[in-house]
Amino acid sequence: MLHPTARVAELIGLHGLGGAKDLPVPAPFAIAGGTAALLVSFVILILAWRAPRYDAPPLAEAPSPTDHDEDADPLPGWAMDPRPGRSEDAASDGAWNSGGLRLPGLIANTLDSLWYRCVVRALGMAFTVFMVYVMYKGPDLIVNPTFGVFYVILWVGIVPASLLFGRFFYAISPVRTLFSLVSWVLRINPSKGVFDYPERLGYWPAALGLFAYVWQELVNPRGVYLGWDPPHPGVRGWLVAYFVIMFFGSAVFGDTWLARADPFEVYSSLLAKLSPWARRSDGDLVLRTPLANLATLVPRPGLVAVVAVLFGSTAFDSYKDTVRWNSVVTKLGINLEVTNTTALVLACLTIGVTFVIATKLTGVAETGPEAVPRRLLPQLLAHSMVPIIVGYMTAHYLSYFVEQGQATVVQLSDPMADGANLFGTANWSIDYWLSLHPTFLASSKVVAVVLGHIVGATAAHDRALRLLPKKHQITGQLALLVIMVVYTGTGLYLLFGS
Amino acid sequence: MTARPRTPAHILGAAAAAAVLTLALSACSSAGTGAAGSRGEPGVTATPSAQVTSTPAANAKIIKVKFTGSKVSPDGVPVQVTQGQPIVLQISSPKSGQLHVHSSPQEHINFPSGDSEITLDFKQPGVIDIEDHALNQLIVQLEVR
């Protein structure tokens, strides 16, 4: 150490975790191509996709479709989770969440079996216990795998895991497992809290939790430390707070709290709606096309806030690393943390507000059986943001996930940084193939963003056909189309490196 | 198995279990360790200019980094280099310090007070930030093509 006098607080990382970033994508090509692809696909949708194909949630004044939605996963929960029964009113043809190809009995029974759920939960718990040990006993160095597990494996890995396996985090969630265990020991029903969860809160607690996460990752100067430096929590402090809030919340509101407030579970379950796995409203496990599955996302208050935080924070993360943002920060000369927090809030607000305005700018049927309250339009169309988020997460994190993910697997074998090789991966070398093929990487990013927007536009178009009266079906989508073109253009511009 | 309705005793039990768990977890959470310095990344040390014998290669990119007070110049400029091209950092600083190189894996460069020099090269395309962590300031952003 050459400057032992330097205070810890001064050694603030400008980055979260990670080393080199990707080279920028050639912009004019990407922006022109991307926005054109979106416009062309919109025209094709207007001409060829004239009748709605997918579900729309039943419109009670406050949307409160069946609770079965919570079980729509192939990796179901703990033994005490009530398997949704066959209710009389569900599953009539054409009803909400009733489509899909039934899984063969053997597979469905295995996925629903007690032993399978327990094995998956035990694996999740075993890994958690190992990580808690590493987090408390390991050195507070950048090579401690806690950081890689928290920022790469969990936060980025949740995307492919949920797209492939459905509600991944729900299935392994350590808080859910612990809460189920405690409930089982005390012989109480985990789904019945002291109070009912107030449905009008919807996903707002999760939106706050997700914001707390992205703040920790992108702004907090202690983001890559374990220990705290008051008032800034390190990763350990963040996780303890997360655990306490989730556990006590479940004790008060039952495990509905975890489905609405746990940022990781809500994020994972949102992404799972783009997976082929679903549980029908009659309780059967089915396979569906991702778009059909996405249409069964239950709109709730705060859903727009959740997607706005996910999308806005990714945009901010891209912009934060540019030379331009650096010079803005230097010119402003205000505290970096204040500047970045403000910018992060503004980025999320911008996405949320523009989306709300764009979805409300349409004519609606005010009365009659087709009537749709205008204020519900944003949450009824918010599912169309999920594929867009997946597109940006892919573009933003592809090389980071592949390369930092490998580094984390290497570090996991030597968590105490004492030369151990617990899992035989300590001597692996990291394959930088992606970084060494920048053209392939850049093209993949453009494809991911554009594909995300096209799938999103398709979902929005289908929903608009159900929600909007005939005369507004095309004009009613224009504002949303404009905002999506702006998102695509801005997103690609940010990937270009501005 | 049908779950029994919740009684105050059950709620108390759950709360007590959670409290014990919480205390156990947070008890050791307060230790803000985190020694100043490298935190585990590999590091190199710049050579004092007086001891530098060789001149930079003809194709080398020379970047002069000058610290004055709480400022550093340049303060965040993009620099384009090619893979394998030598990058010579000529550092001039009234006191010793440390630069952070956000390559993969990350590295740090210790430099002494006065004038010093270090040569870097990167074999892999990407964007690499070189920062001074004490000032919390980006110095150059290398675009390796």
pLDDT value at residue A428: 92
Chain B residues in contact with A182 (beta carbon < 8 A):
14, 17-18
Average pLDDT of every residue of chain A: 86
Chain A residues in contact with B87 (beta carbon < 8 A):
none
Q: Which of B40, B75, B129 sits opposite A142 (nearest CB)?
A: B40
Does position A80 have pLDDT exceeding 60, yes or no? no
pLDDT value at residue A21: 78
Taking the whole predicted model, whether its pTM rises above 0.90 is answered as no
Tokens of A430: 């990291």
Q: Does B15 contact A248 at a Cβ distance shorter than 8 Å? A: yes
CA-based nearest distance B64→chain A, Å: 18
Provide the 3-class DSSP secondary structure of residue A113. coil
As a whole number of Å, the end-to-end CA separation of chain A is 36
Q: What is the DSSP string of B23-66?
A: HHHHHTT------SS-TT--EEEPEEGGG--SPPPTTPEEEEEE
Q: Which of A194, A225, A435 sits opposite B126 (nearest CB)?
A: A435
pLDDT value at residue A457: 92
C-alpha torsion angle, residues B127, B133, B136, B137 (rounded to 10)? -50
CA-based nearest distance A398→chain B, Å: 14
pLDDT by residue (tens digit) across A33-67? 888 888 988 898 988 888 888 888 877 544 444 44
Q: What is the DSSP string of B79-126?
A: EEE-TT--EEEEEEESS-EEEEE-SSS-EEEEE-SEEEEEEE--SS-E
pLDDT by residue (tens digit) across A101-110? 999 989 999 9
Low-confidence ranges of chain B (pLDDT < 50): 1-5, 27-36
Q: Which of B14, B126, B138 sits opposite A21 (nearest CB)?
A: B126
pLDDT value at residue A281: 85
CA-based nearest distance B30→chain A, Å: 7
pLDDT value at residue B9: 57
pLDDT by residue (tens digit) across A384-395? 999 999 999 999
**∠ CA A189-A191-A197 to the nearest 5 degrees?**
135
How far is Cα A147 from Cα A133, in angstroms, rounded to an integer? Answer: 14
CA-based nearest distance A430→chain B, Å: 10
pLDDT value at residue A235: 96
pLDDT by residue (tens digit) across A115-133? 999 999 999 999 999 999 9
pLDDT value at residue B91: 93
Chain A residues in contact with B129 (beta carbon < 8 A):
14-15, 21, 321
How far is Cα A223 from Cα A197, in angstroms, rounded to an integer? Answer: 32
Instruction: Tell me the backbone φ, ψ of residue B144, rounded to 5 degrees.
Output: -90, 120
Q: How many residues make up chain B in this entry?
A: 145
pLDDT tier at A215, thresholds 50, 70, 90? very high
Distances from the Cα of A286 to the Cαs of A53, A161, A265, B9, in angstroms? 18, 18, 21, 41
pLDDT by residue (tens digit) across A140-177? 998 899 999 999 999 999 999 999 999 999 999 999 99
* Chain A residue with minimum CA distance to B37: A1
Chain B residues in contact with A227 (beta carbon < 8 A):
29-34
User: How many C-beta atoms surround the C-beta of residue B21 within 10 A?
Assistant: 15
pLDDT value at residue B29: 46
Interface test with A, best of B67, B72, B102 (most A CBs within 10 A): B102
CA-based nearest distance B112→chain A, Å: 8
